[in-house]
Chain A
Amino acid sequence: MAILTKDEAKKIIDKVLSYSKADEMSANLSGGRLGNIRYARSAVSTSGESTNLSLAVTAVFGKRTGTATVNEFDDASLEKTVRRAEEVARLAPENPEYVPMLGPQTYLAVEPYAESTAKMNPDFRAQATFDSIDPCRKKNLSAAGYMEDSTRFTAIGNTKGLSAYNRETSVEFSVTVRTADGLGSGYATRDVTDVSKLNTKDATEIAIQKALASTTARALEPGKYTVILEPAALLANVDASLLAAMMGSLDARSAEEGRSFLSKKGGGTRLGEKLFDERVTIYSDPTNPEVPASPFGGGGGGGGQGRFNGGSDGRPQEKVTWIEKGVVKNLSYSRYWAEKKGVKAIPPPANFIMEGGTQSLADMIKSTEKGILVTRFWYIRPVDPQTLLYTGLTRDGTFYIENGQIKFPVKNFRFNESPIIMLNNIEALGKPVRMGGNLVPPLKIRDFTFTSLSDAV
């Protein structure tokens, strides 16, 4: 029941819209199933599954809007929800930033959905967990991990003729393996659309190797180092991350208001300026087969958007180049801000793809004279929004490289660094891999700033 087909969803939305007496009305129907299994100390700690289906209706009179939600789908409940949204809209004061709803749109043909993931059940989750725990038990190592699978759909429609439907699946897996003496720790993470491409045993083997290799960590002086950042260090789905922080800051309004690293001295933005190494090219593309994403999105400005109707105003997601050869090429705009500025309202990206090279991580290590390999960063927090300065720490596998080989594990470091500075100091880019629904290459960066040591393992 929670995953409706396109036709089933459209039937409900059309019925909702047929009840409308408002100037404009939109309906957003979404639902899904979320499953998870968590383990620690090499045993399952919690596991669960939940389903949900809900409808949000937004009514508009002039610049007055009102939203009501419901999770019952009989005719009377649907009509009651429409009337409730209209009642609220009539009573609401005008929203000066309201933008009329969009009419029919053309969307790219994508389906970020796999039947194998949609069919996942508790036995599958338990087996995937066993595949991760068992090799750790055999080596007297402690495994702590988490797997979450999601199957969901979103359908939107409005009285101006817009109609859209998307269904998607995803699985995220991560594992931390620790040695019995507490001196070694290793980490691996994977995410896929199609669970048949996930091998928890293989991923865990990498975490095992890192845990075993990291038990005799030596202290190096903090300072500026050449680092090889694995993709999980650049982008994390359980914490803030340097690349996501930067991509999330490509917003036009805050830049034009003077409160962003992209604000220009004297006013305006730095759109069109070369701010990064010329090898930096980042774009979004919902049709990329490795990281398929929703064909519509948006948020901010205009009718039918917002938290309670899925955060989408129905704007088509297209291939958008955000940074090309180091130059900022595009910023995202809410529909209100775009209209005010007379530009195209580009929605924030549904995914991003950073171009890289053909080298594997091993190739990058081989070509490094002296440097530090970082598996993962942790507790990344903003320090200065003016320069996009962030702080955080290395974690779960940090190694010293010399003459193309990993020489020894090193104690963890705290860094204070800005992704803007980091992307100006690129030595090499590796082959991009999927991370949190995006494609990110490992990067070799010179002069990365470590400011202190951490005793944490």
Chain B
Amino acid sequence: MNRRDFNQLLGMGAAGIMMPALPAFSRTIAPEALLEPGLDVAVKKRLADAALNAAKAKGATYADVRIGRYLNQFVLTRENKVQGIINSESFGVGVRVIANGCWGFASVGDARDESVVAKAAETAVAIAKANARLLTEPVQLAPQKGFGEVSWKAPIKKNAFEVPIKEKVDLLLSCNAAAMQNGANFVNNVLFQVNEQKYFASTDGTYADQDIHRIGPSFTVTAVDPQNGRFATRNSLSAPMGMGYEYLQVNPSDKLSGITTRYNKGYDMLEDITAAAKQAKEKLSAKSVEAGKYDLVLDPSHLWLTIHESVGHPLELDRVLGYEANYAGTSFVTLDKWKTKSFNYGSKEVNLVADKTQVGSLGAVGWDDEGVKTKKWDLVKDGILVNYQAIRDQVHILGEKESQGCCYADNWSSVQFQRMANVSLEAGKTPLSVANMIKDVKKGVYIIGDGSFSIDQQRYNFQFGGQLFYEIKNGEIVGMLKDVSYQANTKEFWNSCAAVCDESDYRLGGAFNDGKGQPSQSSAVSHGSATARFNGVNVINTARKIG
């Protein structure tokens, strides 16, 4: 590591930049501090035991403690300028307990002393006891065996924090230059890197030390036509990933050629932004779509978001039960539908799985935030609803004896609650390429990249846009479209799924900041699929005149 390389760009011009949200209680640090080892695991165990023992002494029947160190780096550029380099660290301890049948939680920052941590545990017990006055039924916690002292590390090949900032800045600025040379008037670029160092311990006897890495490169290019006052944008086709810097060191085998290049386990930002600049200009004069029914061919860079909103969220059991009623909403997938064992969520082509172990995914961990070992399970099998996503205090409602491991908190200062696993559409079992899928479409739209997205509070009615829209006529792509959004009802949409391409086209998309809860927390989650076809979907034209 070259300290000067790190330092030379630190803290420059926080002026006027669009700053991504930082975790609670984070503070700016020197970049070299991103590589300092955190507390020794033996120290963490001592702190954890202090909290657990204090909670038990005050009457807790269960307790868990999370010691978290959260490291972030943002590199932001605009055209030929670096807008900011932010390095931040957040360290602290969160303690959750059950006392008098009720949950309680307290957290404390920069806690390296056993007495401070023990005090937080006592506070958590006091809160639980105070809230127990309003309790209607005591918490039922699914049993969980203790795993002893265990660890998990994301299988990254190159820690992004070890890469000199100059190298990252050079990459982003060269991307921006390529965009400007190819017709963009404006370009914004962000490289976001995360390292969550999490230690979990509970009265069940698990002490899990985990090291999680994520990376998210993204850009927006804008083309302006001042004469007619129009402008158009194209965002990157990258997916944030649970990977290291190797994600940006792309192999030819990571690319899929086609009407535009798409990316798998590696991302060629320079190539994508060059194409984006040309495509943003092309959008300015693209044909405005004629509203009507179309067969949609949806690339994984687009479909991940539809899966996220119309499958991932409605199958969260806390939403089904009403815990999110005041904010994110409830769900149309009520328990009675699941109990019939015949609810057609989709056509027989539709197989949806939840997987907290998927390599390279944003949501992969070894243990969740209540000590459950992660796994993969079916949500929809051959189109039939078979399961939900749940955590320890809910699974008894499903008649399950153990949790599915969906508990997560975005920071040591946040209480853990149910969050989405990686939810994905399985690839088709029979060989089918994108080209062959398009060959069979008479009147369709091929959509690449995610755009505008909106869905109701029970996840029935949705509307999605995209980045690139291509008209398909009689089995051929005939040109670019603009002003495209499609509207559907979740169940009708998934039942219109006519085909899914095979494994060779399977890719991950994902969200870095999926919001839920009050106060709102964000989580990162991936969604995989191959390109899929949906027949007879309602496409609307979004063009308007404002005078």
A residues at B contact (CB < 8 Å): 34, 36, 38-48, 50, 52, 54, 56, 58, 64-71, 84-85, 87-89, 91-93, 95-98, 122-123, 126, 129-130, 133, 142, 144-146, 148, 174-176, 178, 182, 185, 187, 238, 257-259, 261, 263-267, 275, 299-302, 305-308, 334, 336, 378-389, 391-393, 395-396, 412, 414, 416, 418, 420-421, 424, 451-457
Contacts and interface: CB of A to CB of B under 8 A. Distances in A.
B544 A67 contact: no
A111 B461 CA distance: 44
Give the interface centre of B11, B81, B489 by most chain A CB atoms within 10 Å.
Answer: B11
Nearest to B538: A452
Given A144-B326, A145-B326, A238-B327, A384 B11 contact: no
Given A48-B106, A68-B28, A382 B452 contact: yes
Interface stretch (B46-54, B227-235, B468-476): B227-235
A308 B456 contact: no
A412 B460 CA distance: 11
A41 B4 contact: no
A36 B136 CA distance: 20
B130 A122 contact: yes
B518 A43 contact: no
A68 B487 contact: no
Contacts of B14: 58, 65, 67, 305-308
A179 B518 CA distance: 22
Given A98-B13, A418-B544, A258 B326 contact: no
B178 to A, nearest CB: 20
Interface string B438-461: 000000000000001111111111
B40 to A, nearest CB: 23
Given A385-B233, A456-B458, A456-B459, 20 more contacts: A36-B518, A41-B136, A44-B131, A47-B130, A48-B105, A92-B10, A98-B15, A126-B130, A126-B133, A133-B134, A148-B518, A182-B334, A257-B186, A258-B185, A259-B222, A265-B229, A379-B454, A385-B231, A395-B456, A454-B458
Contacts of B230: 386
B231 A259 contact: yes
A451 B81 contact: no
A242 B519 CA distance: 22
A46 B105 contact: yes
Which 9 A/B pairs are nearest by Cβ-Cβ distance?
A: A306-B14, A265-B229, A95-B13, A300-B16, A456-B458, A454-B461, A144-B325, A92-B12, A456-B456
B289 to A, nearest CB: 13
A96 B82 CA distance: 10
B231 A391 contact: no
6 contacts: A39-B134, A41-B321, A43-B137, A92-B9, A130-B134, A379-B455
Give the interface centre of B16, B324, B327, B545 by most chain A CB atoms within 10 Å.
Answer: B16
A133 to B, nearest CB: 7
Contacts, number: 273
Contacts of B109: 52
B547 to A, nearest CB: 7
A259 B224 contact: yes
Contacts of A412: 456, 461
B42 interface: no
Give the interface centre of A45, A68, A126 by most chain B CB atoms within 10 Å.
Answer: A45
Given A146-B518, A456-B461, A97 B544 contact: no
B457 A393 contact: yes
A455 B489 contact: yes
Given A144-B322, A182-B334, A381-B452, A38 B546 contact: no
Contacts of B110: 71
B152 interface: no
Given A264-B229, A266-B227, A88 B10 contact: yes
Given A305-B14, A379-B455, A414-B456, A420 B329 contact: no
A416 B540 contact: yes
Nearest to A412: B456
B226 A258 contact: yes
Contacts of A148: 518-519
A83 to B, nearest CB: 12
B518 A89 contact: no
Given A258-B229, A391-B452, A451 B322 contact: no
B16 A65 contact: no
Contact of B461 (A39, A145, A263, A453): A453
Contacts of A263: 229, 231
Interface residues of B, number: 89
A140 to B, nearest CB: 13
B28 A308 contact: yes
Give the interface centre of B19, B106, B231 by most chain A CB atoms within 10 Å.
Answer: B231
Given A48-B415, A258-B185, A258-B224, A455 B332 contact: yes
Contact of A176 (B326, B415, B459): B326
A416 B226 contact: no
B11 A88 contact: yes
B519 A36 contact: yes
A392 B485 CA distance: 13
A122 B185 CA distance: 53
B253 interface: no
B11 A389 contact: no
B460 A456 contact: yes
Contact of A418 (B186, B228, B546): B546
A256 to B, nearest CB: 11
Nearest to A92: B12
B322 A266 contact: no
A416 B452 CA distance: 12
B546 A381 contact: no
B7 interface: yes
Contacts of A258: 185, 224, 226, 229, 231
Nearest to A174: B326
B546 A421 contact: yes
Contact of B322 (A123, A142, A299, A300): A142
Contact of B456 (A46, A379, A389): A379
A30 to B, nearest CB: 12
B450 to A, nearest CB: 11
Contact of A420 (B82, B127, B452, B546): B546
Given A305-B15, A307-B19, A275 B547 contact: yes
Give the interface centre of B105, B127, B463 by most chain A CB atoms within 10 Å.
Answer: B463
Contacts of A43: 134-137
A219 to B, nearest CB: 12
Interface in B304-359: 321-327, 329-330, 332, 334
Contact of B27 (A34, A71, A259, A302): A71
Give the interface centre of B134, B226, B326 by most chain A CB atoms within 10 Å.
Answer: B326
Contacts of A382: 452
A308 B12 CA distance: 12
B11 A129 contact: no
Nearest to B489: A455
Contacts of B8: 91-93
Contacts of A381: 452-454
B483 interface: yes
B275 to A, nearest CB: 20
A308 B14 CA distance: 8
Contacts of B300: none
Interface string B405-444: 0000000010101000000000000000000000000000
Contact of A455 (B16, B28, B222, B460): B460
A126 B520 CA distance: 20
Given A91-B7, A259-B186, A451-B487, A66 B226 contact: no
A433 to B, nearest CB: 20
Give the interface centre of B13, B185, B186, B332 by most chain A CB atoms within 10 Å.
Answer: B13
Interface string B285-299: 000000000000000
A67 B134 contact: no
A41 B323 contact: yes
A454 B460 contact: yes
Contact of A50 (B107, B520, B543, B545): B107
